[in-house]
Structure 1
Amino acid sequence: MTTPSALSLKKIYSGKVRDLYEIDDRRMLMVATDRLSAFDVILAEPIPEKGKILTAISNFWFDKLKHLVPNHFTGDKVEDVVSAAELPLVEGRAVVAKRLKPVAVEAIVRGYIVGSGWKEYQKSGTVCGIPLPAGLKEAAKLPQPIFTPSTKAAVGDHDENISFEQCEAVIGKELAA
């Protein structure tokens, strides 16, 4: 499923992988689709059941860490906010979430030098302003994991690596800590 087309709820956002639907002024339905995004591009061929797998993994970790980090889950059941006819479209791939202000930064922890981190390293020897040892090869294991924030670009745009200081400027020092 790339997008549930028959939902009666109003779609308020469509991201690279997830779609958001308005339930009321304080809650939304977050639906993980089977769309595949790589390097900020939505690829033509979806992966069957990917949305269900993403939702199961997310639910596991949000539940496991809820005593440490507050999250967006309301505790409401999906079957209480969609009709019985619509439930098969979103079952296993949706959660009822609080409507919150999005954090405009993507939090990435790298253990290996790949992707945009590799490209930046080749140019400057750094990733997100963090100096790395000289002579690393692509996909090399880093001496220790590093936090490399990036912008959270809209669909069609590219995320850009930013320094921790830039991250603080975007979301505030308290949230960045």
Structure 2
Amino acid sequence: MSEKKEIATFAGGCFWCMVKPFDEQPGIEKVVSGYTGGHTENPTYEEVCSETTGHREAVQITFQPDIYPYEKLVELFWQQIDPTDAGGQFADRGSSYRAAIYYHNDEQKQIAEASKKQLEESGIFKKPIVTDILKAEPFYEAEGYHQHFYKKNPDHYGRYRVGSGRQGFLDEHWRDR
């Protein structure tokens, strides 16, 4: 069993929808919902939603790269978002819902940039890829009721994932890939 562990941080709009896809992969030790990229220490959900802290909703993933490499995490990330939307993600609008890859070292930065370039050149999307690639900043764990929301509230989660437009978009762009 691999002992090496790394951290990956992704902002993909509402963090409720970003946990399950990663949580189900081998080599993923944990997925935590939280906030990053802002200027306030230990922000609350209400503060982040007020768009005054500069934070984005994000997930921080502890993973074993020998089992599930960072490249695969980045690929899975792209398949959870609309990388052409600079105003948020799906029904969630505002800077706290903007997508980003937060890199923790130079290798992650290079992988993220190469992956973004590959996605741009793939022709999957007609509009430019606007997802940010940023240096990781302090990550603050969200309130307990947000953690693993899909397990605690499966019906609400399912309705939200469909009702927000996320599931339809993902099916349209990624189902056959």
Q: TM-score, normalized by length of structure 2?
A: 0.26
- How high is the TM-score relative to the length of structure 1? 0.26
Structure with greater contact order relative to length (CA < 8 Å, sep ≥ 6) = 2
Whose Rg is larger? 1
- Structure with the higher fraction of residues in helix conformation: 2
Please identify which structure carries the higher strand content.
1
